[in-house]
Amino acid sequence: MDLFGDLLKEFGAPGQRLVDLGYGTGNSSVELQKNGYKVTGVDLSPAMVSAAEGKEEIRGIDFFVGGLADLPLPSAKFDAAISAGEVFHCLSGGEELDAAFAEAARVLVPTGLLVVEVNTELSFRVLSQAPDIRSSDHGFISFSPLAPADFSPGGAIDLEVDSFARVEGGLWERSVTRHRLRHLTHERILESIASAGLEFVSVRGFHGGVLEDGLDNGRHPKALYVARRADSVD
């Protein structure tokens, strides 16, 4: 999560109050709290909320159940908002995407920063053809396409997600879910940023463990978009 912290410092978040949009089990929230942010987390899944609240290191972080398009949070409350992983790809379509950016703008203070991580066209092409396994400190996750097929920019793919987490006694806990992920083109993201009254600041492509200026869909599997709430936003 240093990538998010680095971007917030580089572009000057006005304070330390931060909301983690779609925090999952709270890993990103914990890392941001270690970096000095006063973190609030929001996730659509009550099960994720329970899992996050059960962690010892989660103390001091407030969690709420809610969707990106209807955040259970007051307006103009946070200096920064971040979204890690595939959260924005799970939105049902263009209207919900616009609503999610609008809600992020609503809860930010003037000049507050929004940083959203997305999977690029390269990532979607890979995911649509073969399983992808990702490891973490707590276990690993396998993403498998339900029906491998040619992918078109702006389209969707259906995935089966197998999560394996270490539990007490040296055992593993497995959970299986299915998700439809929608690819978000660069142009569509910029449209949603503008429609929310946010100012586009930067996009950084992720490659080889570092962020690079700009976006190359043939090189970068992920990208981080940075937007700022304008002073004139109500």
Angle value at C-alpha 186, between 181 and 22, nearest 5 degrees: 45
User: Residue 54's pLDDT band (boundaries 50, 70, 90)?
Assistant: low
pLDDT tens profile 156-211: 998 888 888 887 778 888 888 888 899 999 999 999 999 999 999 999 999 998 99
| Span 86-111, average pLDDT | 95
pLDDT tens profile 122-138: 999 988 887 788 776 66
- Please give the helix or strand (H or E) that residue 193 lies within, else none: helix 186-195
pLDDT of residue 232: 56
pLDDT of residue 47: 65
pLDDT averaged over the chain? 88
* Residue 143 CB partners (closer than 8 Å, separation 6+): 127, 131, 132, 133, 134, 159, 160, 161
